Chain A
Amino acid sequence: GPKVLQIPSHQIIDMGQMVTLNCDPVSNHLYFYWYKQILGQQMEFLVNFYNGKVMEKSKLFKDQFSVERPDGSYFTLKIQPTALEDSAVYFCASSPGQQNTLYFGAGTRLSVL
């Protein structure tokens, strides 16, 4: 089936540093999402993105977070600066349209030390 690729699978950084998580969504999909999952807990919506713009973001999407997809390349989540509480697995997802199936990537485990 359609695959969403996330790079890297695991990232370890020191608190205060910047990190960029990369997502290669399904090629013909138009809507892109980031979710945050702390171990064993639910996935929490961060942001969705369409046509080059953020459509909706949650309270978890702090000012230190930003997303972009320059020229149809990777859909990225940047955190600058990182904090200890940012440690989690971040899942990228994409869908062909609104209210369509979301396809999730394998996640990037972010460890902030």
Chain B
Amino acid sequence: GEQVEQLPSILRVQEGSSASINCTYENSASNYFPWYKQEPGENPKLIIDIRSNMERKQTQGLIVLLDKKAKRFSLHITDTQPGDSAMYFCAASGYAQGLTFGLGTRVSVFP
């Protein structure tokens, strides 16, 4: 199986600044690392993902980094906006496994 640790659990950032969430995993066979955003009462939605053949990926104000040696991956939200306030979940998956999610980070963007 897989275990995913996610920190911090709560993150308050000022609008316009950046927010960073860090995750670690245990199973070196995991090779797919998606990030999901979940708003209250809604389903989780994929916002960005990275596979083990990459170290960095960027899209629309989001950057993900993957350090396979340290078994660590992170999400960086640049220039945060009020609409970025939500729960964020990291996840890891290996071959033929379901996704294992972290505990989540509640991000709050204040003016």
Q: Size of chain A's interface in residues, with CB distance under 8 A?
A: 23
Given A42-B103, A56-B97, the answer on whether A101 and B44 have CB atoms closer than 8 Å is no
Q: Size of chain B's interface in residues, with CB distance under 8 A?
A: 24
Q: Which of B57-111 contact A (CB under 8 A)?
A: 89, 93, 95-104
* Interface, chain B (partner A; CB < 8 A): 1, 31-32, 34, 36, 42-46, 49, 51, 89, 93, 95-104
Q: How far is the CA of A106 from the CA of B43 in the complex (A)?
A: 5
Smallest distance from the beta carbon of A103 to chain B beta carbons, Å? 8
Cβ contacts under 8 Å, A113 to chain B: none
Which residue from chain A places its CB closest to the CB of B90 in the assembled complex? A42
Q: Determine if A33 and B96 form an interchain contact, defined as CB atoms under 8 angstroms apart.
A: no
A75 at the interface (CB under 8 A from B): no
When the two chains form the complex, which single residue of B1, B97, B101 contacts A42, counting CB atoms closer than 8 Å?
A: B101
Which residue from chain B places its CB closest to the CB of A105 in the assembled complex? B43
Contact code string A22-66 (vs B, CB < 8 Å = 1, else 0): 000000000001010000011111011000000110100000000
